[in-house]
A and B are shown apart, each in its own frame.
Chain A
Amino acid sequence: MRRTVSYRCTLRGETFTFADLRELLAKANEEKSGDALAGIAARSATERVAAKLALADVPLREIADTPLIDDDVTALIADTHDRATFDREFASLTVGELRELVLGRAFAARWTDEGLARALTPEIAAAVAKLMGNKDLVVAAAPLRTITRLRNTMGQPGVLAVRVQPNHPSDAVEGVLLSAIDGLLFGCGDAMLGLNPVDDGVDSVASVLGGLQDLIGRLGVPTQSCVLAHITTQLEAMRRGAPVDLLFQSIAGTQGANASFGVTLDLLAEGREAVVAHHAEREETFIGEHVMYFETGQGSALSAGAHHDVDQLTIEARAHGVARAYDPFLVNTVVGFIGPEYLADARQINRAGLEDHFMGRLLGLPMGCDVCYTNHADADQNSNDDLLMLLAMAGCQYVMGIPGSDDVMLNYQSTSYHDVAAVRELLGLRPAPEFEAWLAEMGLWADGGLTGGDGPVLDTAARAVAEAAPRELPA
C-alpha cells in the first residue's frame, strides 16, 4: 500500500517541492557531508528550512504507513511496532506537535509508565530529531531512562557509566589488562571491559576474553567483559569454552548494510539465544538477560552503498530499530569514527552525537556514545570535550574510557579515564550502583567521588597481570 505523496512549502516567496517522504526527510536534515556525498542533501539553507517546515506538518500516521525501503529491517520495524498504542496516542499528531509533546514536562513520566517507546517508529524518531535544536536534543533525552541488567545495572538516574576500552596494537593480554586496571582505578569499567581486537581469530579472541574474565573474577568487579570481534568469531570462541558476557555486533539500518557487516537478523537472534543459554551454565551471577551490545553510527549504509537514497540520520534510527528488537544491554553510536566524508567537522560530529543519542533514548534504547574523531576530520579534543559534557547533561547511558583518549590500535581519539572522572565530578554523576559499592569496598570511592587511592586493587591486579598467559582452547 505504498503511497506517493509530494510535499510543498513556500518560504520567503520561493516555493520548494519534495517528491516524496524520502526526499523530504533527507532535505530536512541538518547539514551532513554524507548526505551531500549521496547527492540527497538540501541545495541551500533556505531549502533545508523549507523541508523542515513541510515535515513539521506531516501526520505521524503518514510516516508509519510509508515504508522508505523494502527490506528485512523495514519488516522487523513493522513487526516490533506497538501499533495499537501508536494509533491511540500518536497517529493523529504531526511531527511538529510530537516535538512539542516530547519537550513537555509531563512526557517522560507517560513515556515510562505507558511504555510509549515501542509505539514510536525509528523513522518518526528521526523526523522529530530533524526539527530539534541541539539544546532540545539534550533536554528531551535527559529524563528518558531505560534500565538494563546483565552483571550489573545500567541506566538509573544520575549514573554515567564507562566502557573501559583497553585496546592494544597486538592484543597482548598483559598490555590489555594493564590498561583495564588503570581504568578501574579511575572508577571506569562499569559498562564493560571491552576490547576491539586487531586479530579476529578465535584463539586470540578467546585468549583476551579469558584474561578479562580472570581479572574481573580476581577483583570481584561487578561488570561484564566483551571482545568486539565479529559475532560468528565470538560464538565460536564461546562454543570452545571461552566466557562470553556480552555479545557484540556492529549493525546498520538497511539489510544491505548489515550484509556488508556479514550479519543477518536471524544470526543476531540465534546469537542472543546461544549466549543466554551459555550464561545459565556459567558460575558467575547474571542478574538480567540483556546480553547484546551493538554499535551503530551515521554513514555506514552509504559507505556500504546500501542507503537507498535515504539520509544517514533516518538510517541510523533504523539501526536503532534493529537493536531494540534484541533487548540490548548497551548501544553505542561511534559517532566520529567514520570520517569527514560523512561527518565533516566538529559541528557535524557533535550534532550527530546528540541526534543519535536522543533518537536512541526516545526509542527506548540504553544509548551511549563513543565521543570521538579521526585525525582527518576537522575536529579536535576541545570539540570532543564539548560533546562529552553535552551528552553527560543529556543523561547519556555511558561513554568510552580510553587511556589518554588515544586509541593505540584504532588510531583515533575518544574520551579518557581522566575526562570521565572530571565530568562525573562536575555534574555529580556516579558509576552503576553495584560498581560504585565495589569501588567503595576497595577504597577507591568515597563521598560521591574518587579517593585517589589505589586500595587493594593494585596487588591483585599485579598478580592477574603476572599470571596472564595465552589460553589453549580445544579445537
Chain B
Amino acid sequence: MTGEALTTQDDVRALLTRRAREVTPARIFTGGPEGGYTTTDLLALRADHAAARDAVLAPLDLADPALADIAARHAVFAVDSQAGSIEEHLLRPDLGRRLSDAGRAAITAACTPATDVQIVIGDGLSAAAVHAQVPTLLPLLVAECRQRGWTVGRPFAVRHCRVGVMNDVGDALDPAVVVLLVGERPGLATAESLSAYLAYRPRPGDTDAKRDLISNIHARGLTTEEAVRRIGDLIAEQRALRGSGVAARSA
C-alpha cells in the first residue's frame, strides 16, 4: 500500500478501508461512532447469526434432497447417540459421545467388522455442514480409499453426535481407522464448515490426544478435494504408525 499519494484524510481512510477488505474478514471501518451500526451492518450481523443458529438446531436428515442421492448410492443409514433431543445433545456432550443401544446393534448388524477404514458421518454442531460438504466429500473419500487398496466399511450417520462417539464405533466394529466427518460449531463467517477426525483403533476412554484432525472444510476454506487427499495421507500414516494423534507421534 506504499507508493500511492495520500492527500486528504478521506483518501487515507478510503485506502485503509480498501486494504482492510483485502487482508482481513474483520468488520472494520464500517461507519462512525454515532448511534452504533448502520442498519445494513446490524441486519447483516443478525442474518449471519440466524444462519448459525439454524445450522446448530437443524436435524441431520438423510432424506433431505441434499443428501438423499448420496445416501442411497452408498447405502448410508442413520443411528442415534444416547442424546435423545437437540437440547440434550447441546447440554449433555457425554451422551453424544455414546451410541444408543439400538444404534450399536444396528451398526453391528449392518456393517462389516475389521475393515481398513470405517467412515462415520455426524451432525456435531452443524447439520448444515454435513448437508453442504458430505455429498461431494463422501464419494471422493470412498474412491480414494479403494484406490489406495483399503477395504471400506458401510458408512453410517450418527444423529446428535460428538467426536467421542468414535470410541464406541471402534469398540463395536474394530476397523483399523475410523474417519468421522462432523459439523463444526458455526461461526458468523460460515455455518457449513466440516471437520474430519481420524483415530487408529479407537477404544473407550481415548481422548483427542489419540486423534488427528483436519478442520475448516468448506467453500472458502479447505476444498473437499484437498481434504480427501489429506485424509488419505493421514490414514496411510496412521496405518504405518499403528497409532494416531500426538500420543503416537511423540511416542
Contacts and interface: CB of A to CB of B under 8 A. Distances in A.
Given A418-B33, A452-B34, A465 B16 contact: yes
Contacts of A433: none
B218 to A, nearest CB: 12
A450 B186 CA distance: 35
Interface residues of B, number: 45
Interface in A410-424: 411-413, 416-419, 421-422
A381 B46 contact: yes
A36 to B, nearest CB: 8
B215 to A, nearest CB: 11
B204 interface: no
A454 to B, nearest CB: 5
Contacts of A413: 49, 188
Interface residues of A, number: 48
Interface stretch (B19-27, B74-82, B173-181): B19-27
B186 A172 contact: no
Contacts of B28: 178-179, 182, 403-404
B105 to A, nearest CB: 27
A406 B45 contact: yes
B6 A408 contact: no
Contacts of B2: 466
A406 B33 contact: no
A176 B26 CA distance: 9
B26 A459 contact: no
A177 to B, nearest CB: 10
Contacts, number: 134
A172 B9 CA distance: 25
B16 A411 contact: no
A341 B12 CA distance: 46
B36 A404 contact: no
B187 A175 contact: no
A37 interface: yes
Contact of A178 (B20, B92, B188): B20
Interface of A: 33, 36-37, 166-169, 172, 174-176, 178-179, 181-182, 186-187, 340-341, 344, 374-376, 380-381, 403-406, 408, 411-413, 416-419, 421-422, 450, 452, 454, 458-459, 461-462, 465-466
22 contacts: A37-B91, A37-B92, A172-B23, A174-B23, A174-B24, A178-B29, A186-B33, A187-B33, A340-B91, A341-B90, A375-B55, A404-B28, A408-B26, A408-B187, A416-B37, A422-B36, A452-B32, A452-B34, A454-B13, A459-B6, A462-B12, A466-B2
Interface of B: 1-2, 6, 9, 12-13, 15-16, 19-20, 23-30, 32-37, 41, 45-46, 48-49, 52-53, 55-56, 90-94, 125, 185-189, 191
Given A37-B91, A454-B9, 12 more contacts: A167-B26, A176-B24, A179-B24, A181-B16, A374-B185, A376-B56, A376-B186, A406-B45, A416-B37, A419-B36, A454-B12, A459-B9
